[in-house]
Structure 1
Amino acid sequence: MNQVVNIPNVVTALRFFLSGVLAVMLMPEQTPGLAFWSFLVFIIAAASDWVDGFVARRTKAETVLGKLMDPLADKVLVATALIMLIPLGRLPAWLALVILCREMIITGLRGIAASAGIVVSASGLGKAKSVTQYVGLATLIFPADMLPIPALHQIGLGILYVALLLTIWSGVDYFLKLKNIFLAPAE
């Protein structure tokens, strides 16, 4: 297996694929059974974020491609869930917009850093943000008719408000850590 096609990168590619599957499964016309399967697809995709990183570090199979594509796959998964939850009435559009804007800005900043030869890995704060987003989104994706706790969707929304704060905080943190690269004059 060459360095680009390795298990962690394949798992990352799977997360991109599962994001597309999730988009189809979260259509407003979904049945209760399909709603539960969409929850499972999201959980598997979110868990793959941990799996690819763990395997890459454990087998020393980290690649530049993986360091760039892994966070992008996370953003695609989160964006898919955020956007698809809006028409289901489980998420206000403004909340999704703020999170998505931060994700696009950080992706752009990572691209600028990469063009300067610097690969920006996720920070601890960024990882906490991702986990909080995943937990909140999973709670909102869980089918309403199968809820063990009547207010579970409200709890999920509350978790996403916490994720929003972490999202903004980690975005500012990335910018401050890398501001010298971003503000350097162009050559």
Structure 2
Amino acid sequence: MNLPNKLTILRVILIPFFVFFLISPFFDGYGNYIALAIFIIASLTDMADGKIARKYNLVTNFGKFMDPLADKLLVCSAMICLVDLKLIPVWVVLIIIAREFIISGFRLVASDNGIVIAASYWGKFKTTFQMLMVIVIIFNINLQLGWLNILGTILIYVALVLTVVSLIDYIAKNKDVLKDQK
């Protein structure tokens, strides 16, 4: 297993620790910061694995499949926790998660037909904004700064719009996957 794939697996392994520290009542306000550090590290592995894979020609089908899945698990876990903490509207998270299920379904159909679909530019852009949104919201949990609340809200809606745009782009580019079934 190459380094980019190990970084992807590390991202998945970090998720339960992130969730534990974010929603655990045992750390008297500091758990948020530990969770934030874990989330940032996990997010940076996303950037690093892709750069390393492309630079050293280590792109694999496993990476093309697992990298976006690891991102979805990380970001969706974070957003579900933020819903539980009443920091993000549930309807926003439902739309974002629905998009992820639709894309995963497309990938499964493509995979059954021997096609591996890598993440698109819009999908990467969407993930970046979702990660930024989570970082800003978690960072502001204890601070409660007005301008960070506004920035967090703006990032929620930018991430939502990018989620819908990336879904439309993905379906438009890959609609033939549904037509060309075995």
Q: Is the 8 A contact 1:36 1:143 kept in 2?
A: no
The DSSP-based 3-state class of the residue aligned with 1:119 is: coil
- Equivalent in the alignment of 1:14: 10
- Equivalent in the alignment of 1:75: 72
- TM-score normalised to structure 1 length: 0.91
Q: How does 1:9-158 map to 2 (within 5 A)?
A: 9-27=5-23, 29=25, 30-146=27-143, 149-158=145-154
Unaligned runs of 5+ in 2: none
Q: Distance in 1 between matches of 2:140 and 2:22?
A: 10
- Equivalent in the alignment of 2:164: 168
Work out the number of aligned pairs and report it: 181
Q: CA deviation at 1:74?
A: 0.2
Unaligned runs of 5+ in 1: none
Q: CA deviation at 1:57?
A: 1.0
Q: Distance in 1 between matches of 2:15 and 2:157?
A: 22
Q: Distance in 2 between matches of 1:7 and 1:53?
A: 10
Q: Distance in 2 between matches of 1:150 and 1:31?
A: 22
Q: Distance in 1 between matches of 2:115 and 2:30?
A: 45
Could you list the runs of 4 or more consecutive aligned residues of structure 1 that deviate by over 4 angstroms after TM superposition? none
- Which amino acid counterpart does residue 10 of structure 1 have in structure 2? K
> Percent of pairs identical after alignment?
38
Q: CA deviation at 1:145?
A: 2.5
The DSSP-based 3-state class of the residue aligned with 1:178 is: helix
The DSSP-based 3-state class of the residue aligned with 1:86 is: helix
The DSSP-based 3-state class of the residue aligned with 1:69 is: helix
Q: Distance in 1 between matches of 2:54 and 2:28?
A: 40
Q: Is the 8 A contact 1:90 1:153 kept in 2?
A: no
Q: CA deviation at 1:48?
A: 0.7
The DSSP-based 3-state class of the residue aligned with 1:65 is: helix
Q: Distance in 1 between matches of 2:33 and 2:140?
A: 6
Q: Is the 8 A contact 1:139 1:152 kept in 2?
A: yes
Question: Does 2:179 correspond to 1:183?
Answer: yes
Q: CA deviation at 1:28?
A: 5.6
Q: Is the 8 A contact 1:15 1:48 kept in 2?
A: yes
The DSSP-based 3-state class of the residue aligned with 2:57 is: coil
Structure richer in helix, relative to its length: 2
Q: Distance in 2 between matches of 1:180 and 1:61?
A: 28
Q: Distance in 2 between matches of 1:62 and 1:142?
A: 33
State the Cα RMSD in Å: 1.4
